[in-house]
Amino acid sequence: MKYLLLLIVILGTFSLKADTLKVGYNISPPFVMEENGELYGTSVWLWNEVSKNKTDHIELVQYPLDSMLSALESGQIDLSLNPITINSERIGAMDFTVPFYLAYSGVLTRDESSFSKAIALVSSFVSLNFMSALMALSVVIAVFGLLVWYFERKGNEEEFGNGWKGLWNGFWWSAVTMTTVGYGDKSPKTTGGRLVALVWMFTAIIVISGFTASIASSLTVSQISSGVDNIEALKEKNCTTVKQSATDLWLADHYFLKRNARMELDSCLADLKSEKVDYVLYDQPILSFLNGQSDSKDFTLLDLQFNPQYYAFPVSKDVSKHLLDELNSSVLNITEGEEWKHQLRLVGL
């Protein structure tokens, strides 16, 4: 009789364990956040919707982010609330639900002081691009000024006489016409001069548009603040990222040898603030959310995207295929609805 009771207790223990779904989490805004002991955030909302009709007992377990994957692989937890990037290495060690968000890696840097920005702005006016555009514009003005003077020097001596004064008047007319100021103090009277003027009026529209675009390019905010306009430019910079994250794996595959990976994002941000590194490379949705917080005004998120990655809930291989199919069906139904889009907009995703 006692052996029968012992068997019932053992079977009951296994049955309880089978009905308990262990869900790991780590605070990672805006997907998983905590306030007054309550979890909230985009992933938390999605999981609450997915698990509404589940009969399993759900046990939430907090794990360090660097231990989350190993806990899933070893079966210590069944699922992670934190969205994990799907890649070929991870999919061999665990299962995933269907993806519910397409993210990219991004770049965070220190926000420069107003004085530094002013110096950078002044410096941009003597940059090679700006000076080249200014020189080209001066040459075009000179050419059309010379042409109008050539035709007007005899037929319109009052306004375009011979000698250096006449040449100067030609350049003056050319500049005034290009800028559409239209003083009217100089105007061509001869047929040749008017033909030159006609061509110059229409040409000047194109020239001034190109010159404006060149100025805008040389004064782009991202160039002023960081001097970086593509991800390859960061290979020789002091960068950091979260160790073994999808961004870290991408950087390793693309030969970013000078990166200094840290175990936690908070350590990366501390290194950036203390000027130990110049850039933090990590998931852009997380960097964007942190950059919008009041205590993160010392940082600037650059307009750079790389490493597209699909976010999904990682699931232990020990979880039954039936439960995984249920999770997939629920995730698809919920993320196709308007409420999910609303949740993403709430946190700026």
Residue 279 pLDDT more than 60?
A: yes
> Which range, 41-50, 170-179, 180-189, 263-272, has the best average confidence (pLDDT)?
41-50
Range of the domain at 151: 120-221
The pLDDT value recorded for residue 210 is: 76
In a domain, 105, yes or no: no
For residue 223, what pLDDT band results from cuts at 50, 70 and 90? Answer: very low
For residue 14, what pLDDT band results from cuts at 50, 70 and 90? Answer: very low
266: CATH: 3.40.190.10
Closest residue by Cα to residue 280 from 233, 319, 323, 248: 248
Identity of residue 105: S
In a domain, 110, yes or no: no
Same domain, yes or no: 66 and 125: no
The pLDDT value recorded for residue 338 is: 93
Give the pTM: 0.60
Q: Which of 189, 204, 221 is the last residue of a domain?
A: 221
The whole-chain average pLDDT of the chain stands at 82
Core vs surface per residue 119-135: b (16+ CB within 10 A) or e: ebeeebeeeeebeebee
Same domain, yes or no: 279 and 187: no
Query: Counting Cβ atoms within 10 Å, is residue 314 exposed (0-12), middle (13-18) or buried (19+)?
Result: buried
Q: Are residues 281 and 226 in contact, defined by beta-carbon separation less than 8 angstroms?
A: no
In a domain, 300, yes or no: yes
Same domain, yes or no: 89 and 38: yes
pLDDT tens track for 145-160 = 888 888 888 878 777 8
Same domain, yes or no: 8 and 87: yes
Q: Mention every residue, 6+ apart, whose C-beta is less than 8 A from residue 234.
A: 107, 228, 256, 279, 281
Same domain, yes or no: 8 and 93: yes
pLDDT tens track for 95-140 = 999 999 999 999 998 876 555 556 656 666 666 777 777 788 888 8
177: CATH: 1.10.287.70
Query: Who has greater pLDDT, 17 or 112?
Result: 112
Residue 220 pLDDT more than 70?
A: no
pLDDT tens track for 294-321 = 555 678 888 888 999 999 999 999 998 9
The pLDDT value recorded for residue 343 is: 92
Same domain, yes or no: 53 and 14: yes
Residue 327 pLDDT more than 70?
A: yes
In a domain, 342, yes or no: yes
In a domain, 58, yes or no: yes
Same domain, yes or no: 141 and 158: yes
The pLDDT value recorded for residue 15 is: 40
Same domain, yes or no: 61 and 80: yes
Same domain, yes or no: 209 and 235: no
Number of structural domains found in the chain: 3
Q: Which of 202, 221, 240 is the last residue of a domain?
A: 221
